[in-house]
Amino acid sequence: MDIPRSRPSNFRALTLCALLIVIAITYAATAAAEDVGVCGPFGNPPARLIGPVKPDCGIGELLGPWKDGNGTDRYACLYKSKSAGAHIKLPLLIYLHPSEFQANTITRTDLLNFQNSYVLSGDPKRPGFNLLAPQGRKTVHRYPLGDRGGTGWDNWYRQFNPAGEVKVGDAVFPENPDAAAIDHFVAQQVAAGEVDTDRIYVTGWSNGAAMASLYALNRSGVAAAAVYSAPDPFDAFDDPCAQMPVTVDSASSAEIRILNPRVPTLHLHNACDVAGICPNGEKLAADLRAAGIKVRDVIIDASRRRVRTCVAYCGSNPNGELSILRHPVGYYLGLRHHDRWPAEWNRYLLDFLRRNSLNAGVKRTPNEVSMSRDDRN
């Protein structure tokens, strides 16, 4: 995207400078006031709760309330395919919304236009899929200015054991309440008998993408994950309790063991993304691959064409870029790109999911095999 070349008036320039100074001061004050807590075997302490959220599901069905381990009412939105029925088991696609937004942002992705016709099952006799969109809570976030708290997902407290609480020494660590809420609503759909349990998939946007990645990496029932613009759920934006993902018992609190290392993942993100998410996403891909996890990393430009590298003026720090003063253009352009779901890539995303199933006996066409070989990176 071209940067406008017209020079602002002196008044506009002064106003912009004043605004940037106020933003920097406000950010510094907010960051200094934030409770850091003590790092543990699962990273940060659980996020401080601000309040529950009841979503507006629009054309979907509201599920809940269900109380999580903290006694907080949890909800989800369910969007059923027209193919759904008591005797038809369809794939289930879990969608996790961005921070500061709600589950109904699924309508901004265009995925609902595929759910009646796209053959996610791989079986032409079973077209369509059901879409489950759990709702996050309002909590404190460890993100840059503008997203320090609100609706979203706690991917900083990484106790994702599906068995529940874990005891380490004399300390007891409860399961992440967001992961438990997702588990509940998925189990509810499975119990209804309408889910093809070989084809439960996860997608998400921004903070929801980070949570979707972390969830898939810890749930053996998830066949694949395909997400958009995810900050690294293990280490982004000077996380005080960053951890390295490993597939063996962790040697210290600097590592976190993931429980589903076989899950294939696709990360689609922008070459110029807000807060340096592109180089941070590249770091995530490298760390996961080092742990033996299959990752397909796809970078797209402003025209939604695939490119090979990130744009340096939007940030080059592999941990993400906190300073809006160092990269103001990158913040502006990156936020514009970040705020648009890449609907042009929906079929690619769904194709990736379809080619992955928990049923190892699923056959692929020669064309599909060729596609996966040519696009391993």
Per DSSP, the residues of 324-372 read TTT-HHHHHHHHHHHTS--GGGHHHHHHHHHT--S-TT----HHHHHHH
Query: Can you tell me the distance from the alpha carbon of 343 to that of 111, in angstroms, rounded to the nearest whole number?
Result: 8
Q: How far apart are CA 223 and CA 196, in angstroms?
A: 11
**pLDDT confidence of residue 37:** 63
CA atoms within 13 A on the CB side of 61: 11
Query: What is 42-371's CATH number, 3.40.50.10490, 3.30.1360.120, 3.40.50.1820, 2.40.50.100?
Result: 3.40.50.1820
For residue 166, what are the β-bridge partners?
173
User: CA nearest 76: which of 107, 98, 102?
Assistant: 102
Q: Do residues 202 and 225 lie in contact, with contact meaning Cβ atoms separated by under 8 Å?
A: yes
- Condensed to tens digits (0 to 9), the pLDDT of residues 139-173 reads 999 987 778 899 999 999 999 999 999 999 999 99
| Contact of 268 with 345, CB cutoff 8 Å | yes
Residue type, 67: K
CA distances, 246 to each of 20, 24, 149, 291, 358 (Å)? 40, 36, 29, 6, 22
Burial class (CB in 10 A: 0-12, 13-18, 19+), 332: middle
Q: In the chain, which stretches have pLDDT less than 70?
A: 1-37, 86, 360-377
pLDDT tens-digit readout, 239-284: 999 999 999 999 999 999 999 999 999 999 999 999 999 999 999 9
**pTM, two decimal places:** 0.87
Domain boundaries, the chain: 42-371
**DSSP 3-state assignment of 187?**
helix
Handedness of CA 190, 256, 47, 100 (dihedral sign): negative
Per-residue confidence (pLDDT) for residue 147, from 0 to 100: 83
Q: Do 346 and 109 form a contact (C-beta atoms < 8 A)?
A: yes
Please state, in angstroms and rounded to a whole number, the distance separating the CA atoms of residues 181 and 159. Answer: 13
